[in-house]
Amino acid sequence: MKISVSILSGLLLLGGLVGAAPWGAAAQGGAPAGAPPLVTQDFEDVPTNSPFYTYIHNLFVDGVVGGYACGGPGEPCVPPGNLPYFRPGANVTRGQNAKFTDNGRRVLTGAHSGTFPNYGLFSALDTDRSSSLNAGVYGQGATGILGESYTTGTATGSGGYFYNNGGSTGQQYGAYAYTLTGWGLYGVSAGSTTGQSSAGVVGQSTLDGGAGGVFTATTASGSAGLVATGFSGAMLAGHGTTVTASGDGLDVAAMGGLSDAIYSLQPTGTTNYTLYGQAHIHGSNISAADYESEVVYDGAAPLALGSVVALDPANVRGGPLGVLPADASTADAAIGVLSYRLRTVPVNGVAKTAIDAAATAVQPGDRAYITILGRVAMALPAGAKVGTRLAVGADGAVGVAAAGGVSFGRVASRPDATGRGDVLVNFK
């Protein structure tokens, strides 16, 4: 449907300017075929059976015309409505026409539809497609373009819908947003539908090798390619998997088998790492540095970090295993060296295990990490040197292993001023 000044003017100049037609007679451009019956009369001199009623009614509803109050000469008030008068046969001045036209540009309501490429109330077609600066619609204001969607039934709604048919070899954008300050694109969701979870922004690519979202930033200090904040900072799910927000910085799910939750190529350079951080990694299958396991200390007295521990004979199946100080009688049950005391901290209402970096010993009932394969710092026995094999002594102290005897590790460094040194542990 094309809305123009000539149509609005024609509606207003039915009388003196273009000649009045009898209201009961048929006229070209009358009520659209198939229009539903209308029962609301807006003006005393425009009955609902007028062929022009639907057009005048739409203008009245949209606030384009308001009419003249009843009570004037020849325009009596008719109870109970006391409707105003439209004066369809009156001449319209240039000033009145300007006001009507301006009002008509502001608000338009009702059911409006069309066929490609003319949709809705307004279609602007720019056929010069040689430059990205040639725009079909241009808006300027505090908000350049404002769109709202209200749907009923099962219709899909879009506050703004953009579709790019491509055609050139240049870069193509479904939507492009640029701002000198603030956010280039901002999305808010206040709810979900039966087929959608709530999300501020969703990106999708159906091309093999495409990306649902690509985020880049400058290399300036403080810039970040992606910042995610929530109950979980971010959730990443591999194909065919689901992941649940658990209050962590990052929750990741993968299929397993040949698919890894996190996979990274070895970075170049001697000071670059695949993973780097000040926190300790919880888990017993971390390669390259050490293998560790979480245990509960069941001993009766405090035990220093760097001590060898053995399995508690009272252990039952399930949960972290209990350990006791190792000695010569439990050497066969020795399984690791105390490396860190653990504590729990609440994170979004969930108790999370964390390392107590300041602790030098574990207390009865404490949870701890034991190193079962890797490097630990511990007190070296007298006479030990790099390569010396170590064993558990009768009183639980570490001593030099006898020739051919059972050993849990080898000295890997010279002792420091406190008598502690690095030991390569191997309880396999």
Element of type H or E holding 255: none
In single-letter form, the type of residue at position 87 comes to: R
409, β-bridge pairs: 390, 425
Task: Give the 3-state secondary structure of residue 56.
Answer: helix
Domains of the chain: 1-125 (no CATH), 290-426 (2.40.300.10)
Rounded Cα–Cα distance for residues 9 and 61 (Å): 18
Task: Give the 3-state secondary structure of residue 328.
Answer: helix
**Interval 92-104 mean pLDDT:** 88
Rounded Cα–Cα distance for residues 419 and 176 (Å): 65
As a dihedral over the C-alpha atoms of residue 57, residue 61, residue 64, residue 68, rounded to 10 degrees, the angle is 70
Q: What is the CA 427 to chain-centroid distance, rounded?
A: 45
In single-letter form, the type of residue at position 20 comes to: A
The pLDDT tens digits for 125-184 are: 888 989 988 998 999 999 999 999 999 999 999 999 999 998 899 999 999 999 999 999
400, β-bridge pairs: 390
The pLDDT tens digits for 383-428 are: 899 999 998 887 778 889 988 888 888 999 999 999 999 999 887 6
- Token code pair at residue 333: 């049950």
DSSP single-letter state for residue 410? E
Residue with tokens 């394969």: 373
Which of the four pLDDT bands, split at 50, 70 and 90, describes residue 105? Answer: confident
Rounded Cα–Cα distance for residues 220 and 106 (Å): 46
Which of the four pLDDT bands, split at 50, 70 and 90, describes residue 28? Answer: very low
For the full predicted model, state whether its pTM sits above 0.85. no
Which of the four pLDDT bands, split at 50, 70 and 90, describes residue 287? Answer: low
Rounded Cα–Cα distance for residues 15 and 89 (Å): 3
Angle at 340 between CA 339 and CA 344, to 5 degrees: 155
